[in-house]
Structure 1
């Protein structure tokens, strides 16, 4: 039986150090539903600024029940009876003079209406919640947004709508581009995470009611392929409309979700005061580290309390704060990762970046010198593989002669073709999966902490070759980050035997390669080590009929290279 929808408000002013109001109802202005929120606020009559979160995981589900193992590892100072997954802890923040408003997204938990996550309607409902929080008698009228992942990704969208009272945002590991960052990497469906995520949504309706009152992301993303499909188009917005001060926090280990969006969200936002901070570690824990909470509080105090201790409101705070991944400290080891040094920069990408081509050779090398291939040749690999049994080719640099830092955006240029296997169907497309790996001077691969604490390589990139068209006239096109529109009109033919020069966007990264270390470029048939739950293995999107065959990288008819951002 589904949970009963509760229209109640409860207060407890004795056993808690703050006032707790549950299931306060907010009527949406377009009459599309009813959003229910929990309010946690300091005792007393003083008006306080408000931190708002809006998401689908169930505002009333305790963190300790939603993810017990994660909760047990959270900084004890950030744990309490009302802690909730990926959101600020009410006990701590009310003690710092903030109210916390935690909303069940429309159509989830105790909120009534149609569930259509990350849609225009969802952002409009979030807009109403922000304005409601600014108008309450206990509110100072200033609202800030703070949260991880979904509670971060939704911030970009609502901030672009400029609700009254919104004064600053901290999107902490939150993708900003629904299509490119999350759903279709390089045009390839990222199906396994979409299903994993969708199955974690919290609703209080029966299955029959849910079918009528929700848009199923697993179905919608499979059925829609292009950004001009109405499903994706309805989720678009202009990042330049974001005008409030923002602190975008990107995790180097988020190589399949969020990282790109935090960087591009920061880059494209129209805010005069915007800051970019890089971290490492698991997806769930760094948000609660004492030193990171202090960064959050300092930023929020500056714009919500006019208490600016670090120069956030004057632009004197570090514009770009980079964590340098130097050495092999292992993975999923928070204390070890805290030994990574930091460095302040004034811009992104770093102005002194030397974009350096490393050329692929037919002998599987990566060389800074363009080799002249005397004859045309190719290296081949099977077009379809599994995470357990991938087909791949690798290209390796010589040992670096000195310590070398790589920080920024990466593009891989390849000349590729495909062909049919004897007796099999004729392939009609080609998917490229690219991975960059770091090898220590001792010859061991260095792994970093992935989203779920799993070992991951430096970074990954993807491209469906039929979606290879680059829009060089678009304002967001850059040599180090080719812009693709991914529209239905962009589809180009892929014919067996035809060689196609393509540029593959590889997500940004950072590493300090020690003297004697190496970099490996891997081109594969599908997902390889480090992909975790973010697989692209839909038997429909990557069907045998359309993709089975052999893929080839060609030499002697054009350069193949990866452009690495070397910091001088």
Structure 2
């Protein structure tokens, strides 16, 4: 497959990391627009809107709309390659959401009014003399979320959408991963929507290398109470959003008004191409796909594309490798051409759409090939249980094992101590891009349990989402559990394949908080993000279990108090059981070797 001309250097995550380290790159700006308008919404609020029309042809033209919180002079829209749409005969429309830049109204992440604003904007575009009446939507991250918000309102002019790496479940993804609040994201992302220049960003809030050298950011991210941590960084609407996000500890009305439910997914009746990456680190796109498959009309065209990309690369494309993974030209894919072919089919009625080998097309690292199927998860995948074992010393690397045999005796449990005021930070992985997925620093910590398989006698291909089913206890009313699935080749590297996490007060659902009874074991299911990887013979499978992922996620104070107002912190001893009565295990999605 052809490679996109854009590279990972132009991805939003790469640009923001450079800016946070004091090396803000020069932003490529769009040329002067054909039109600039303040478009009125149904409540009278006007939203800043820019239009670029094709140079050739008299029109009218189909239109492609981006609704975004990212200002052009802060992050740049030209890097997205949107002008290629103009050159292909499309009107290109960018609009800033409420409360951003020149757009009026009040800012809020996933403002419930994004739904009606999307509808009103699409219908305004369709009514213009330069528009053919056919509108599609494009964009990644938040600009993917605005596509979904508009699609559920069924605007008559909307013909198709291409959402890439959206957040779709706010307790499995941003701003609360497994229920664990991401103060770093809530501060950094929200501030970014307010600034007019990358130079205005608070150093260290974006990019882990910059974070390491900024003690003030360490203090801000560990300070308590969390509700006061935004002072001096955010103000007005954005400060209000941060305080709302940190204060709502259950999936109630506040978050429900900002998320899509089953009835909403049932109303997405336009062709949809969902795009995500193996290294995105979130579950949003897989959750979106599963909900569309479950609730949206079955006769509507849908495509899923999971490539070898991280969050930013899932729109602009990646390179020949990522961390310890190397695939060369095997992973090359022209995302821009695929999107254009999708729009040509549904906005112009031309062509057959993107040249994807299957309805669900995914890249498998290790095998370094694209895999096609009619559904996702892959219909040939089978669930395979791998069980934890040890002599009670799994926090000393080499003492914990992982195999397909259930425990048959009263194996001793493993335990570690969570210290919320002294969370582990993987310095090497933050400083060296080649170590971005390397877990060797983490697995050497005493507060991390490590379980490793014997060298594999034959290859093992993992494909899909899966769960870690653990029996755990703690001597505190609440604690966090993190799981990392990894591959260990003969050279001893430990490379992350997947991650999942859960704040245990949410073990019975995110709509309630159930404290732990100190010392009483409970069974928990920790959802892990998508894995698509083949382990070669001689390689080993490894599971790490710990209690923190700082600075991305807030350490649990282990007191069971509200996230926003907790001040006191305490250590917590967490115990993992793996005996005959309480078998802890991984339930892995395994593909037959003839598909690898």
TM interval, short-chain normalised:
0.7 to 0.9
Q: State the SS of the aligned residue for 1:145.
A: strand
- Residue 461 (str. 1) matches residue 456 (str. 2): no
What is the aligned counterpart of 1:548 among 545, 549, 571? Answer: 571
Mapped contact 1:438–1:518 kept (Cα < 8 A): yes
Specify the alignment match of 2:339 in structure 1: 296
Q: d(CA) in 1 for partners of 2:282 and 2:184?
A: 12
Q: State the SS of the aligned residue for 1:239.
A: helix
- Residue 219 (str. 1) matches residue 243 (str. 2): yes
* Stretches of structure 2 lacking an aligned partner (at least 5 in a row): 1-28, 197-230, 318-332, 392-399, 427-444
Q: d(CA) in 1 for partners of 2:239 and 2:135?
A: 29
- Residue 214 and residue 318 in structure 1: after superposition, are their counterparts in 2 closer, same or farther (change >3 A)? same
How far apart are residue 248 of structure 1 and its match?
A: 0.3
- Residue 523 (str. 1) matches residue 545 (str. 2): yes
What is the aligned counterpart of 1:346 among 374, 381, 390? Answer: 374
- Residue 269 and residue 170 in structure 1: after superposition, are their counterparts in 2 closer, same or farther (change >3 A)? farther
- Residue 236 (str. 1) matches residue 272 (str. 2): no
Specify the alignment match of 2:358 in structure 1: 318
Q: d(CA) in 1 for partners of 2:142 and 2:461?
A: 32
- Residue 83 (str. 1) matches residue 120 (str. 2): no
Deviation readout 1:228-285 (Å, 9 max, x if unpaired): 1x32122133222211100001111011464544544554461521110111134334
How far apart are residue 414 of structure 1 and its match?
A: 1.0
Correspondence 1:142-541 to 2 at 5 A: 142-202=134-194, 211-214=235-238, 216-228=240-252, 230-237=253-260, 238-256=264-282, 258-264=284-290, 266-268=292-294, 270-271=296-297, 272-285=300-313, 287-289=315-317, 291-310=334-353, 318-326=358-366, 340-363=368-391, 364-373=400-409, 375=410, 377-385=412-420, 386-388=423-425, 391-419=447-475, 427-446=476-495, 457-469=496-508, 484=509, 486-487=510-511, 490-527=512-549, 534-537=552-555, 541=563
How far apart are residue 445 of structure 1 and its match?
A: 2.3
Mapped contact 1:59–1:102 kept (Cα < 8 A): no
Q: State the SS of the aligned residue for 1:102.
A: strand
Correspondence 1:95-134 to 2 at 5 A: 95-134=87-126
Coordinate RMSD, CA, aligned: 2.7
Mapped contact 2:276–2:309 kept (Cα < 8 A): no
TM-score by length of structure 2 reads 0.74
Mapped contact 2:74–2:195 kept (Cα < 8 A): no
* Stretches of structure 1 lacking an aligned partner (at least 5 in a row): 1-15, 64-81, 328-339, 420-426, 447-456, 470-483
How far apart are residue 441 of structure 1 and its match?
A: 3.1
Deviation readout 1:151-191 (Å, 9 max, x if unpaired): 11221222111112110010112222233221222222122
Q: d(CA) in 2 for partners of 1:46 and 1:174?
A: 32
- Residue 134 and residue 189 in structure 1: after superposition, are their counterparts in 2 closer, same or farther (change >3 A)? same
Q: d(CA) in 1 for partners of 2:135 and 2:570?
A: 50
- Residue 399 and residue 195 in structure 1: after superposition, are their counterparts in 2 closer, same or farther (change >3 A)? same
Q: d(CA) in 2 for partners of 1:559 and 1:384?
A: 26
